[in-house]
Structure 1
Amino acid sequence: MSLPELEPFLSWFQRNGGTIDLDAIGFKCFPSTEGGRGAVALKNIEKERTLFTVPRSLILSIKTSSLPEKFGPKIWKECKLDTGWSGLILCMMWEDAQTLDSKWSHYLAILPTAFNTPMFWNDQDLKELEGTPVVEKLGKEDAERDYHDKVLLALQRRPDLFPPESIPNHYSLERYHVMGSRILSRSFDIEHAGTDDVTLEEELNNEGDRSIGSAMDVDDHNETAGAEDGSIQDGPLLEDEDENDAINVSMVPVADLLNARFGSENAKLFYEDKELKMITTKPISAGQQIWNTYNDLPNSELLRKYGHVDVLPLSGGGNGNPADVVEIRADLVLSTFLEQSGSAATSRSERIDWWLEQGGDDIFVLETNFEIPEAMISLTRLLYLSSDEWEKARDKEKPPKPRLDSQASGLISLVLQKRIAHYPSTMKEDEEMFENEARMPLNKYQALIVRLGEKRILNSTLQRLQIAKSDSSQKRKSAPPGPNVSKKKAKR
């Protein structure tokens, strides 16, 4: 079973050395809540079965496209196309402009041209994400700066490769965003051929697998290139990632047809010198979707990168994404401390600089366990140290231990309250909206899911912190008094 629009692509794939077990795997359109177009098991499939193989020659990257060679390495570097994603995006636009003369014409023809990601939302929809980190991480301004500073420069340098009349249709800013979104949502981070050999049995028996992951992961939740287990990671890198990482970003035909969902992975992509293999990691029943997920991402990242959210039953009740997180910036901790203590900003700047030099975090992540990160507690206590204590800590090069004393607990409670205030609506208002608006627009619904997931974490963490503070206070009040030692005047 395959979608009719995929048949020319699958024929091209097999003609060019790709193999696919069409008796075991098919493709269909699932509901949007299940990822849309994806792969399905046509029969019961056992663990460790190879579903398809992809020759490295069919991978689309700056290493396989002929454009960099035609362009010339010197000019390519002068245009700064050797760093970030701009080089790969230009390669994809150029290959697309070649139409049937491109090796990847059948592949490019099946890639999406429209996206539900916030990169393409209007201002009104983006307001629904206020308080979340999504808008800040879109990188739209940075991407457009790269388009003007790198890509347009490249187009002007080589009009023989990029005829001026082709620019509006094939090399516009809009096409640049489309290609960038294709990379963001579908690329993989693939190590060069010739990495240390590991047997397939060793790979599959490893906890993490030598699976491939997508190159475009984010910030504190980035997948690292080339997992230790040898698997390929799923989720692309940001434009400002390391140059070598950006070079590994690749588009992998067929592999990018598989959807992802929290806790559902049943297949992974493994690399060998000459080909990549999609192999099942557990038995799959006939009719089940085939999922390829590297790392379980929070809804804020799923929405930003892929244009969807996961809504699953939560262990504590209700529905949401068990991988949701909330980011707390260290500067919010500092500003809250300064407001409460009345200290001048310069009186703690030296401590903050030292904290960062020691490798301290500048962003703290709250998770669904509702615990305060130890690093956040340590920084809070660092701010409260007396001058003598601060000198000792610096001399020993040891930040304070993450002991949640009353000072740290009080400040962190205020920080969480301030973080909650970043959202324009309350959790109660969002819950009422979720219950009462049965048919709200998709963008509004997905933004609401992201907000609710973050607010649950913040409110539950704050509630747990306040309960712990109250319990500690009650213990102190109920503690028996110490021995009553009466002092008598000594007789002479």
Structure 2
Amino acid sequence: MGLQTFDVKTQQFLHWLRNDANVQISEKIDLVDLRSENQGRCVIATQNISSGEVLFEIPRDSLLNVSTSSLAQISPQIREKLVTAVGHWEGLVLSILYEYKVLRERSRWWPYFEVFPDINDMNNLMYWSNDEIQFLKPSPVLTRIGRDSAKVMYQQILNLIEEFQLQELNAVTWEEFVYVASVIMAYSFDMECNDFKDLESLSDDEDNGVSSVSRDGFLKSMVPLADMLNSDTHLCNAKLMYSTSSLTMTAVSDIPAGHQVFNIYGDHPNAEILRRYGYVEWTGSKFDFGEIPLEIISSAANQCFGIPIEFVEKVIEIIRDSEKIEQLTECEPIILDYYDCYVDGQVLPESITLIQVLVTAAQIPHIDTFDYENLEGCLQRITKKAIQIVGNGKMTKRCLRLCEYIVNERLKDYPSHAFREMSPDHFEIHNDFLRQRMAECVLKSEVRSIQNCFQSLERNYRIIEDQKFLGNVMKRGLESKPKSQRQVKRAKR
């Protein structure tokens, strides 16, 4: 898109906002072209802005959702179906497709569609090739791309087109569906709709469990201009506020003239930012984390201390299934498929508790001969004590050693470049390696998070002797001995 066309569409969009969408825009901001920095259109402060100032205000009827769309106006039956029996995603995808493909220039939102991102600029993971996806190994984000679920939704859209008899949309392609769904993923907001009086009369008695507007009480909506703000987890200085009649973007900190206005899309790590929105924060997200799979904990216990893998799996199974242990944890599960390690050093206490239980159980004499009932009772006591010491910021030496081994085993999964410090100029914006560089940034963010968490353990936990903790666990000795030994003692009496 040429500079003139880009600027013309920007000005037409601003004219539409002020004159047709009735958006009140502060004179202290402007919409500018930052494509040179790979950021597209952005909102910039043209004057100093104080915290609390309203940057713009958007009437609710200028938002695009299943309630305001032209599709909902075709018939009361379609409108009610969209609100009560169609999922949030399917409803908004279909509404946008109808505006964008059928009405086109006749759509009220056409100037808004004209500033939607070009398909060639889309970098969320749905647009990555299979070869490019490999750059992200071993990030768990690979399991969350969602192509299979997208195919299911595409078929649902086709079914709705047939049901609503929208012949004009019969030729909707997979590529068109993915584009609209990606735009919604990147730019939509979930807006509560309790104040929409025209929705109150619609019945939600028969919704077949569908996550719909009437069932959940919110509208997935496109919010013109609000979605032009870039997001930065460290630099967020504005927030979208809701009222019964409008939405206002308000400064939440002072914004000097010439600085960009940033919103925040959520507490997302770089991997999720890339998956949803197609970009990364090159210096790392404030909410980055890495993940330790449960299977690495199991194998590490075997490799580090020689604990039989069958025993580890049995302990995990009992902890997962035991109602007695569940009561100790107040129904918060200790056994998870993955354990998060946050970039700020926060570690899930469940992971430390599990590791402490494993290393302690392995030191109980003859525990491998315990029947299920006795093993469950023993693990119940160990878990109770482990929860106590972990909650008090303590762990045993063996627990710390196993934590270190687990971290090192997980880090072995990552390529060497994920451990290198990279200068900002390493990430060339406009080149053929952009997606590879973004993948490297994601992996670096995860490695940094895992490393920070282990360093946090060393700093923040007091290390105690294993024998001291083991002695505390075994004070009531009979509870930690197999039935056969208890029966022998009784016989001697």
Deviation at 1:46, TM superposition (A): 2.4
For 1:323, the equivalent position in structure 2 comes to: 287
Q: Helix, strand or coil for the counterpart of 2:58?
A: strand
Q: Are residue 360 (structure 1) and residue 328 (structure 2) matched?
A: no
Deviation at 1:128, TM superposition (A): 0.7
Task: From the superposition, tell whether residues 435 and 157 of structure 1 become closer, same or farther in structure 2 (CA, over 3 Å).
Answer: closer
Q: Are residue 85 (structure 1) and residue 89 (structure 2) matched?
A: yes
Alignment of 1:379-398 (within 5 A): 379-383=354-358, 384-385=360-361, 388=374, 390-391=376-377, 394=380
For 2:56, the equivalent position in structure 1 comes to: 52
For 1:41, the equivalent position in structure 2 comes to: 45
Deviations 1:218-245 (A, max 9, x none): xxxxxxxxxxxxxxxxxxxxxx989755
Q: Distance in 2 between matches of 1:432 and 1:251?
A: 37
Deviations 1:166-206 (A, max 9, x none): 433xx2111111111111111112112539xxxxxxxxxxx
For 1:341, the equivalent position in structure 2 comes to: 307
2:25 and 2:57 in contact (8 A); partners too: no
Q: Distance in 1 between matches of 2:436 and 2:97?
A: 32
For 2:434, the equivalent position in structure 1 comes to: 442
Deviation at 1:28, TM superposition (A): 1.0
> Any unmatched runs of 5+ in structure 2?
1-5, 197-209, 365-369, 469-493
Task: From the superposition, tell whether residues 256 and 467 of structure 1 become closer, same or farther in structure 2 (CA, over 3 Å).
Answer: closer
Q: Distance in 2 between matches of 1:4 and 1:445?
A: 32
Q: Structure 2 length normalisation: TM-score?
A: 0.73
For 2:9, the equivalent position in structure 1 comes to: 5
Q: Which amino acid aligns with 2:397?
A: S
1:328 and 1:419 in contact (8 A); partners too: yes
Q: Distance in 2 between matches of 1:188 and 1:333?
A: 38
273-282 vs 416-425, which moves further: 416-425
Deviation at 1:443, TM superposition (A): 0.6
Q: Distance in 2 between matches of 1:270 and 1:435?
A: 37
1:25 and 1:41 in contact (8 A); partners too: yes
Alignment of 1:145-156 (within 5 A): 145-148=152-155, 150-156=156-162
Q: Are residue 412 (structure 1) and residue 403 (structure 2) matched?
A: yes
Q: Distance in 2 between matches of 1:55 and 1:14?
A: 11
Task: From the superposition, tell whether residues 374 and 89 of structure 1 become closer, same or farther in structure 2 (CA, over 3 Å).
Answer: same
Task: From the superposition, tell whether residues 323 and 348 of structure 1 become closer, same or farther in structure 2 (CA, over 3 Å).
Answer: closer
Alignment of 1:106-117 (within 5 A): 106-114=111-119, 115-117=122-124
Q: Distance in 1 between matches of 2:50 and 2:411?
A: 47
Q: Distance in 1 between matches of 2:75 and 2:422?
A: 57
Task: From the superposition, tell whether residues 248 and 415 of structure 1 become closer, same or farther in structure 2 (CA, over 3 Å).
Answer: farther
Deviation at 1:382, TM superposition (A): 3.8
Task: From the superposition, tell whether residues 352 and 382 of structure 1 become closer, same or farther in structure 2 (CA, over 3 Å).
Answer: farther
2:86 and 2:212 in contact (8 A); partners too: no
For 2:472, the equivalent position in structure 1 comes to: none
Q: Which amino acid aligns with 2:321?
A: D
For 1:270, the equivalent position in structure 2 comes to: 241
1:62 and 1:247 in contact (8 A); partners too: no
Q: Distance in 2 between matches of 1:468 and 1:397?
A: 21
1:188 and 1:252 in contact (8 A); partners too: yes
2:55 and 2:250 in contact (8 A); partners too: yes
Q: Distance in 2 between matches of 1:274 and 1:281?
A: 21
Task: From the superposition, tell whether residues 436 and 279 of structure 1 become closer, same or farther in structure 2 (CA, over 3 Å).
Answer: closer
> Any unmatched runs of 5+ in structure 1?
196-239, 313-319, 477-492
Task: From the superposition, tell whether residues 463 and 286 of structure 1 become closer, same or farther in structure 2 (CA, over 3 Å).
Answer: closer
Q: Distance in 2 between matches of 1:337 and 1:241?
A: 42
Task: From the superposition, tell whether residues 65 and 397 of structure 1 become closer, same or farther in structure 2 (CA, over 3 Å).
Answer: farther
Deviation at 1:266, TM superposition (A): 1.7
Q: Helix, strand or coil for the counterpart of 2:387?
A: coil
Task: From the superposition, tell whether residues 46 and 407 of structure 1 become closer, same or farther in structure 2 (CA, over 3 Å).
Answer: same
Task: From the superposition, tell whether residues 73 and 327 of structure 1 become closer, same or farther in structure 2 (CA, over 3 Å).
Answer: farther
What percent of counterpart residues are identical?
Answer: 25
Alignment of 1:109-258 (within 5 A): 109-114=114-119, 115-148=122-155, 150-158=156-164, 160-163=165-168, 166-168=169-171, 171-194=172-195, 244=215, 247-258=218-229
Equivalent of residue 279 in structure 2, options 308, 311, 318 = 308
Q: Distance in 2 between matches of 1:54 and 1:270?
A: 10
Task: From the superposition, tell whether residues 247 and 271 of structure 1 become closer, same or farther in structure 2 (CA, over 3 Å).
Answer: closer
Q: Helix, strand or coil for the counterpart of 2:31?
A: strand
Task: From the superposition, tell whether residues 108 and 460 of structure 1 become closer, same or farther in structure 2 (CA, over 3 Å).
Answer: same
1:381 and 1:400 in contact (8 A); partners too: no
2:71 and 2:79 in contact (8 A); partners too: no
Q: Structure 1 length normalisation: TM-score?
A: 0.73
2:57 and 2:249 in contact (8 A); partners too: yes
For 1:400, the equivalent position in structure 2 comes to: 387
Q: Helix, strand or coil for the counterpart of 2:403?
A: helix
Q: Which amino acid aligns with 2:176?
A: R
Q: Distance in 1 between matches of 2:107 and 2:48?
A: 37
Q: Which amino acid aligns with 2:450?
A: L
Q: Which amino acid aligns with 2:190?
A: D
Deviation at 1:83, TM superposition (A): 2.6
Question: Which has the larger share of helix?
Answer: 2
Deviation at 1:347, TM superposition (A): 5.2
Q: Helix, strand or coil for the counterpart of 1:134?
A: helix
For 1:210, the equivalent position in structure 2 comes to: none
